[in-house]
């Protein structure tokens, strides 16, 4: 009896996986994932090349970053980064990762940046959730993130993960999640992949400085 039940459960799970795989193929999730991963790889290569070009032809980037460390306290940098990550990613996180690389404790500072980015996403989610109070602004933001809203409705948590680890602005995906009232606990869980993005980028950027 128990073996039959386990067999039926396994059959049901296999069928669900097949249907889910078919759904993702139909909605072109795998194509989107491949294209996003490709763009992410190209993006970090371009960023590194730009840094190297600036360092060689314009100004010593390490000196510039050292000046930032000497001029501004970590609290100011972290606060500015939090604002940036809340306001639709005004400044690329890679710039702050480069700053962390020459700080007193690079990996601790990187963790701090990842945490600020995570919190910024949460704030964006909460802002999106409250936008119904200002209909004109809600309509504007909905048009701005319409594509993200569509992808969220198709792929749910998987798209939150993509927004956390890819060049897609995390704050925009977070705000879109709030707009459609995506489950907050699930959002918090999937957004933890934001830490993975910072770690992966740091493995590259920390080698330069």
Maximal C-alpha separation, the chain? 75
Cα distance between residue 172 and residue 164, in whole Å: 10
Give me the pLDDT at residue 8, please. 55
Residue 122 CB-half CA count within 13 A: 14
pLDDT in tens, 9-60: 567 668 888 888 899 899 999 999 899 888 888 888 888 888 888 877 887 8
pLDDT in tens, 106-147: 999 999 999 999 999 999 999 999 988 888 888 888 888 899
Q: What pTM does this model have?
A: 0.86
Residue 4 predicted with pLDDT over 80:
no
């Amino acid at each position: 009896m128990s073996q039959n039940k386990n067999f039926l459960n396994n059959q049901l799970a296999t069928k669900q996986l097949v249907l889910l795989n078919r759904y993702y193929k139909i909605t072109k999730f795998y194509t989107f994932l491949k294209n996003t991963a490709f763009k992410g790889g190209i993006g970090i290569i371009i960023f590194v090349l730009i840094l190297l070009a600036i360092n060689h032809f314009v100004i010593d980037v390490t000196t510039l970053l050292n000046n930032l460390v000497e001029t501004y306290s970590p609290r100011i940098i972290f606060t500015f980064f939090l604002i940036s990550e809340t306001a639709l990613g005004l400044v690329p996180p890679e710039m702050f990762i480069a700053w962390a690389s020459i700080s007193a404790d690079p990996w601790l500072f990187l963790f701090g940046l990842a945490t600020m980015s995570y919190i910024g996403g949460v704030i964006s989610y909460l802002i999106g959730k409250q936008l119904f109070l200002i209909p004109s602004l809600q309509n504007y933001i909905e048009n701005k993130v319409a594509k993200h809203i569509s992808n969220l409705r198709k792929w749910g948590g998987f798209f939150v993960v993509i927004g956390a680890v890819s060049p897609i602005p995390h704050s925009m995906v977070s705000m879109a999640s709030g707009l459609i009232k995506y489950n907050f606990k699930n959002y918090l869980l999937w957004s933890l992949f934001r830490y993975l993005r910072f770690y992966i980028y740091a493995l590259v950027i920390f080698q330069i400085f």
